[in-house]
Amino acid sequence: MEYRTLPDGPLTADDLLHLPEDDRRRTELVRGKLVRGSPTLAEHAAAAVSLGARLRDHVRERGLGTVFTGEVGFVLSTEPDTVRAPDVAFVSAERLPPNGPPRAYLRLAPDLAVEIPFPATPALAVVSVVMDYLLAGTRQVWVLDPASRTATLYRGFDDIRILTAEDELDGGDVAPGFRARVGEVMG
């Protein structure tokens, strides 16, 4: 793919998509500005794989939709564009494009987004990411913290729960029947 010169103003999802692969890796677009992340920690990746595999198996068995891992890009808003890349995401079957996922970022909010922030990530930065998902229509956001073995569940701006290692993640009406103990998905 050919590299294009970036515009002076806010970037678009298409600009991000056409960056060289090394420049796109661990990069999100937030209100038209590139936000770069650092490489993933081992405990972060282990939690993402553990939860992603459990959720994928549950979703497949019931034909509920598709689970994405590997930080797939979701265009959550435009003008200026915001492209977020959750660690794990679920999109229900009826909301997926009929011809399968496009060869571009998905232009929809996931039904479920799971974020596993780095230990030093400021709380306000995490809340900003959660707000982007909720404002775009994501029905549940789970924020996992492998260090404390806790999960914070957001089902809206006024429905927030903090779970400990012994508590269960519950897919509710987003992924009906899905349940997993927080401590089990932390590896």
- For 118-173, how does the pLDDT look when each residue is reduced to its tens digit (9 = 90+)? 888 889 999 999 999 999 999 999 999 988 999 999 999 999 999 999 999 999 99
Q: Which pLDDT belongs to residue 26?
A: 67
Residue 143 covered by a domain: yes
Question: Is the peptide bond between 80 and the residue preceding it cis, with omega within 30 degrees of 0?
Answer: yes
Q: Which pLDDT belongs to residue 1?
A: 39
Query: Distance (Å, rounded) from C-alpha 117 to C-alpha 28?
Result: 14
* CB-side neighbour CA atoms (13 Å) of 28: 19
Residue 14 covered by a domain: no
| Domain CATH number, residue 85 | 3.90.1570.10
Residue 4 covered by a domain: no
Domain that holds residue 172: 39-185
Residue 25 covered by a domain: no
Query: Distance (Å, rounded) from C-alpha 115 to C-alpha 126?
Result: 9
Residue 139 covered by a domain: yes
Query: Distance (Å, rounded) from C-alpha 90 to C-alpha 69?
Result: 9
Residue whose tokens read 């265009």 = 75
Q: Which pLDDT belongs to residue 5?
A: 53
Q: Which pLDDT belongs to residue 2?
A: 47
Sheet with 140-145: list strands edge to edge. Answer: 65-69, 88-92, 112-115, 140-145, 150-154, 160-163
Q: Which pLDDT belongs to residue 7?
A: 59
Residue 88 covered by a domain: yes
- As averages over each run of 10 residues, the pLDDT of the chain (187 residues) reads 57 78 70 77 86 96 93 92 94 89 88 92 92 98 94 96 96 96 88
Residue 3 covered by a domain: no
Residue 16 covered by a domain: no
Per the structure, how many domains does the chain have?
Answer: 1
Q: Which pLDDT belongs to residue 22?
A: 62
